[in-house]
Structure 1
């Protein structure tokens, strides 16, 4: 079985990590994240951060990461949950600017 070269990326506000992997053909985005072992690089994050996170490939969110088969050269991105809703942040900024 041939192998594909892919990357898995995760970032916190203060640092990031990109893990390069050679995975078998047919590997899904979710499987690649599990194989990347990100929990070893980010022990402060609970394991669910990686197991349940939204995923994307080159900035495009995946609808079905468990079913999305990877292609050679793909970079799987693990997205962190938003800390604040963007609409709420804009409303708060607007309220501060009115003062």
Structure 2
């Protein structure tokens, strides 16, 4: 009996996050057995059910901002992130903001 208790499975506490729109974040904390992968965390979080627009064949996933595959093993306190596609290239968005600010200063 003591031997079975000593072989108890250690659990990892992992955060899973997705931002469906600017300033909206869906974060779930899940507990998984050691050896769990990114895909296990996504399934346990039920994020894919709440956000059917997520397509893992197209969208990238990462751990703490570093892109990884779905089979990547997780460690305690990892943060799994699902990235949505950008609507505008960040450099182009910066140019547009600069132009609009420049036009506002000219009008004043």
TM bin, normalised by shorter chain, reads 0.7 to 0.9
Alignment pair present for 1:35 and 2:44: yes
Instruction: Provide closer, same or farther for how the CA distance between residues 34 and 57 of structure 1 changes in structure 2, counting only shifts above 3 A.
Output: same
Alignment pair present for 1:78 and 2:74: no
Give TM-score, length-normalised by structure 2. 0.68
Q: CA deviation at 1:26?
A: 1.3
2:16 is paired with a residue of what secondary structure? strand
Give TM-score, length-normalised by structure 1. 0.72
The residue that corresponds to 1:3 in the other structure is: 11
User: Any conservation in 2 of the 1:6–1:73 contact (CA below 8 Å)?
Assistant: yes
Moved more, 31-40 or 88-97: 88-97
Runs of 4+ in 1 over 6 A off after TM superposition: none
Alignment pair present for 1:23 and 2:32: yes
User: Any conservation in 1 of the 2:61–2:82 contact (CA below 8 Å)?
Assistant: yes
Instruction: Provide closer, same or farther for how the CA distance between residues 3 and 15 of structure 1 changes in structure 2, counting only shifts above 3 A.
Output: same
Q: CA deviation at 1:41?
A: 3.0
CA displacement 1:63-97 (0-9 Å, x = unmatched)? x3223210111111111111111122223334445
Alignment pair present for 1:68 and 2:76: no
Q: CA deviation at 1:46?
A: 1.7
Matched residue pairs, number?
Answer: 93
Q: For structure 1, list consecutive stretches of 5 or more residues without a partner in the other structure.
A: none
Distance 2:16 2:97 in 1: 34
Relative contact order higher in (CA < 8 Å, ≥ 6 apart): 1
